[in-house]
Amino acid sequence: RVVVSLARSPCTMSALCPDSLTWMVVKDFNSFQRKRNGTTRRTGTVTLSAEPGNLTNTNSYKYSGFNSKTIGFTVQETEGPSGPRVSLELELKNAKKTQKPSQSKHKVPLRFKNYARAEKCIASQTIDSHYRKDLINAAMSRWAKLHSARKVKEGTAKPMKKQPGRRSKA
Note the pLDDT tens digit of each residue in 129-155: 888 889 999 999 999 999 988 888 888
136 touches 126 (CB < 8 A): yes
Domains 10-67 and 68-155 share a fold: yes
Looking at residue 162, what is its pLDDT? 82
Mark out the alpha helices in 49-160 (DSSP H runs).
Answer: 115-126, 136-154
Nearby residues of 71 by Cβ (< 8 Å), 6 or more positions away? 53, 55, 90, 91, 92, 93, 126, 131, 132, 135, 138, 139
What pTM was estimated for this model as a whole?
0.76
User: Taking residues 68-89, what's their average pLDDT?
Assistant: 87
pLDDT at residue 44 is higher than 60: yes
pLDDT at residue 169 is higher than 70: no
Looking at residue 7, what is its pLDDT? 47
For the chain, how big is the Rg over CA atoms in Å? Answer: 20
Arch. (CATH architecture) of 10-67: 2-Layer Sandwich (3.30)
Closest CA to 17 of 99, 92, 103: 99
154 touches 147 (CB < 8 A): no
Closest CA to 145 of 94, 92, 86: 86
Cα gap 25→167, rounded to integer Å? 41
User: Taking residues 149-166, what's their average pLDDT?
Assistant: 83
Confidence of residue 160 (pLDDT cuts 50, 70, 90): confident
* Average pLDDT of the residues of the chain: 83
β-pairing, 46-49 with 83-93? unpaired
Map out the domains of the chain as residue ranges.
10-67, 68-155
Looking at residue 168, what is its pLDDT? 67
pLDDT at residue 13 is higher than 80: no
Fold entry, domain 68-155: Enolase-like; domain 1 (3.30.390)
pLDDT at residue 6 is higher than 50: no
Cα gap 99→64, rounded to integer Å? 19
User: Taking residues 96-118, what's their average pLDDT?
Assistant: 85
Identify the bridge partners of residue 35 per DSSP, sorted by sequence position. 47
